[in-house]
Amino acid sequence: MKRNSAAAQPIPFTTLGLKHPLWVRAGTTDEVCLREVFDLRTYEFAPAAMPRVIVDASANVGCTSVFFANRYPDAKIFAIEPETSNFQLLEQNTSPYKNVIPIHAALWSANCDLAVSDPGKGKWGGARDPLINKLARVKQFAG
């Protein structure tokens, strides 16, 4: 892997206002997600009514779910992630929040096996770095 060797290990980010630290692999796209969610406030919104059920697909390591869990403590949040190493971190990150339910799967319209891979764009591939081209078992969840 062409990266700072120390970077792939998850490190805790203590972000102000969060009840529990968020573990991300610094120097990978995890950190990008963290910045998108907490610096760029990508999912900030003011809905007509307070949300009670939120579905986060794909949740990656759980940044968005944790953001919503802090923002809407009374809502139930389903965090779906197909990729195994991401899912492990997702579970770790969301375990302190009782209102988040992590689910190891992907949203799809039919049962199938999927190779989650990077088609060459070099950026966000399905399997986020450092796990390019891993086969993930995916099952149906929609409908």
Partner 1 sequence: MVEEHNIPQIDLLKLDIEGAEKEVFEGGASWLERVETIVIELHDRFQPGCRAAFEAAIGDSFPHHAHRGENLWVSRQPFSLSSDSRVSGVDDCRHDAPHIPIIATMLCGNNESLIGEAIESIIDYVDKFLLIDTGITDGSLTIAQSLCGEKLWVEPFAWCNDFARARNCALELAATLGSVWALTIDTDERVEFDHVADRESLQQVLASNPDIRAWLVSSRDGSYAKERFIRVPTQLEWRGRTDEALCGATAEQRAVLPGAKFWEEPKTAEQFRKKLERDLAVLQEETQFKPENARWWYYLGQTLEQLGEPTQAIEAYRHCVELKTGWAEEAAWAAYCGGRCLVSLERFADAIDLCALGLARQPASPELAWQAGYSCYKLGRDRDAIAWEEMAVSIGEVDGSKAARHRISFRHLPAWYEGPYDVLRHAHKRLGDKERASECEEKYQTALKTRLRFASEGINSSNQTTTEELPIPAVRRSSLTRGEVKRVAILGLYSSGSTATAGILYHLGAQMGKRFWGNYYEPQWLSAQLRRWWDEPRIRETVALSERVKLLKRWMRDLSLDEPEVVAAKHPLLTLCGPDLIQAWGKETKFIWTHRPLDKSIASLARRGWWPEHFVRLQEKLWEAANSFFTNQEHLRIEFADVLKSPDEQVDRISDYLGMDVSEQRRQRAIASIMREGSASPLATESLERA
Residues engaged in binding partner 1 (CB under 8 A):
2-4, 13-18, 27, 31-32, 34-36, 38-58, 60, 64, 67-68, 70-72, 75-76, 78, 80, 101, 103, 106-110, 114, 116, 119-126, 141-143
Name the residue among 122, 131, 34 with its Cα closest to residue 86.
131
Task: Read off the tokens for 43.
Answer: 């999912």
Which of residues 19 and 95 has its CB atom nearest to partner 1 in the complex? 19
Task: Give Cα separations from 113 to 108, 118, 131 (angstroms).
Answer: 10, 16, 17
CB of 120 to partner 1, least distance (A): 4
CB of 84 to partner 1, least distance (A): 16
**CB count, 10 Å around CB of 47?**
7
Tell me if residue 112 falls in helix, strand or coil: strand
Task: Read off the tokens for 12.
Answer: 């805790």
Measure the CA–CA gap between 90 and 81, rounded to whole angstroms: 8
Which of residues 67 and 87 has its CB atom nearest to partner 1 in the complex? 67
Sign of torsion, CA 24 30 35 38?
Answer: negative
CB of 55 to partner 1, least distance (A): 5
CB of 111 to partner 1, least distance (A): 12
Which of residues 46 and 113 has its CB atom nearest to partner 1 in the complex? 46
Which of residues 23 and 67 has its CB atom nearest to partner 1 in the complex? 67
